[in-house]
């Protein structure tokens, strides 16, 4: 019983560390200086802008972290109000899912400033039992449909804002490491060459950023920036130096404290993983030793497995496991 309680306590403690680590990653990615670097590389509207301008002029308000529900249905609509966001997601018809980071921004264009809605997600598991890209496209679709009643009403579809869902994948499969891929709506002429204005259909883009190893040929730019920022191995001092010297990211007191907080959590996650690995190894060693002892008694005394386990005082709950291993 005591062993079960210890295991439960360790599990709860690990869950708490993991949750705080995930929260730390989101807080880092929600920093305007960090978002500006991501936006300059992944959002074409900002290619000619400086990261300083993106952070200071174009990101509106403070990015919201885990506050905005993805699945906001008809039962949850707020009163029409420009830039109104319903941060509650307690719907009866859909589950509770929240964007990691979501915010508004403006961007320069030929017609003046245009409005954008952006979402940045941190994803530790690329293979989550479904195509991650489909989830990214779903998030884009929800960000568009959720604009009804906040950005436009009936007959005002021209006011729909373009949306971006940008996914930072920290443990992608080998064939996707150190890649950045964008998926968007494009015009394809089937018969004739009738051309529509791009702004009327280019309304959503999903961007998959898949991090990788330092020795890859594509390692550099945004991929290096994010790998350094989210690394579980690099020290806060190393991160600070690289971010400031190579990427000109001003290390404010807030950002520096966030980086240090993340590094401390990374160390905690690593230590917990090591403890779990050692405990599992010890348990496997004990299992092998007990199995050997059972076999030796059976062979030496010529007794059945049940008699051998009786002599060794093997708990009843473990006997089926050992019998299965004896047959294999």
Overall average pLDDT of the 83-98 stretch: 48
SS3 content of the chain, % helix, strand, coil (to 5): 50, 15, 35
| Rounded-to-integer distance, Cα 3 and Cα 212, Å | 39
At residue 221, does pLDDT exceed 90? yes
Using DSSP, state whether 62 is helix, strand or coil.
strand
Average pLDDT of the chain, as a whole number: 81
pTM of full prediction above 0.85: no
Give 303-326 pLDDT, tens digit per residue. 888 888 888 888 888 888 888 888
Distances (CA, A) of 106 to 24, 97, 112, 136: 26, 26, 10, 22
Contacts of 142 (CB under 8 A, 6+ apart): 70, 71, 72
Q: Which residue has better confidence, 76 or 27? A: 27
Give 140-164 pLDDT, tens digit per residue. 999 999 999 889 988 899 999 999 9
Overall average pLDDT of the 35-63 stretch: 95
Radius of gyration of the chain, Cα coordinates, nearest whole angstrom: 27
Overall average pLDDT of the 106-123 stretch: 92
> 133: part of which helix (H) or strand (E)?
helix 132-145
pLDDT band at residue 124 under the 50/70/90 scheme? confident
């Amino acid at each position: 019983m005591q062993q079960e309680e210890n295991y439960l306590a360790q599990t709860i403690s690990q869950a708490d560390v993991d949750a705080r680590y995930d929260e730390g990653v989101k807080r880092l990615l929600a920093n305007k200086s960090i978002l500006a670097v991501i936006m300059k590389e992944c959002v074409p509207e900002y290619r000619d802008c400086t990261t300083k301008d993106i952070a200071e002029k174009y990101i509106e308000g403070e990015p919201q972290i885990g506050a905005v529900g993805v699945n906001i249905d008809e039962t949850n609509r707020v009163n029409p109000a420009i830039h109104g966001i319903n941060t509650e997601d307690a719907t009866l018809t859909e589950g509770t899912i929240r964007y990691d980071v979501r915010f508004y921004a403006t961007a320069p264009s030929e017609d003046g400033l245009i409005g954008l809605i952006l979402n940045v997600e941190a994803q530790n598991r690329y293979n989550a039992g479904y195509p991650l890209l489909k989830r990214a496209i779903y998030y884009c679709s929800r960000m568009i449909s959720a604009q009804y009643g906040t950005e436009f009403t009936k007959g005002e579809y021209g006011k729909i804002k373009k949306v971006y869902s940008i996914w930072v994948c920290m443990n992608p499969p080998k064939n996707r490491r150190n890649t950045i891929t964008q998926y968007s709506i494009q015009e394809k002429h089937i018969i004739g060459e009738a051309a529509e204005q791009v702004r009327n259909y280019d309304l959503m883009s999903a961007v998959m950023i898949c991090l990788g190893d330092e020795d890859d040929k594509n390692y550099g730019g945004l991929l290096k920036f994010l790998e350094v920022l989210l690394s579980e191995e690099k020290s806060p001092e190393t991160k600070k130096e690289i971010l400031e010297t190579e990427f000109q990211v001003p290390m404010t007191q807030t950002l520096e404290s966030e980086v240090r907080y993340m590094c401390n959590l990374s160390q905690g996650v690593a230590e917990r993983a090591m403890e779990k690995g050692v405990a599992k190894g010890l348990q496997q060693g004990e299992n092998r030793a007990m199995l050997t002892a059972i076999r030796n008694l059976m062979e030496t005394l010529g007794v059945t497995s049940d008699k051998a386990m009786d002599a060794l005082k093997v708990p009843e709950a473990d006997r089926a496991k050992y019998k299965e291993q004896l047959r294999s």
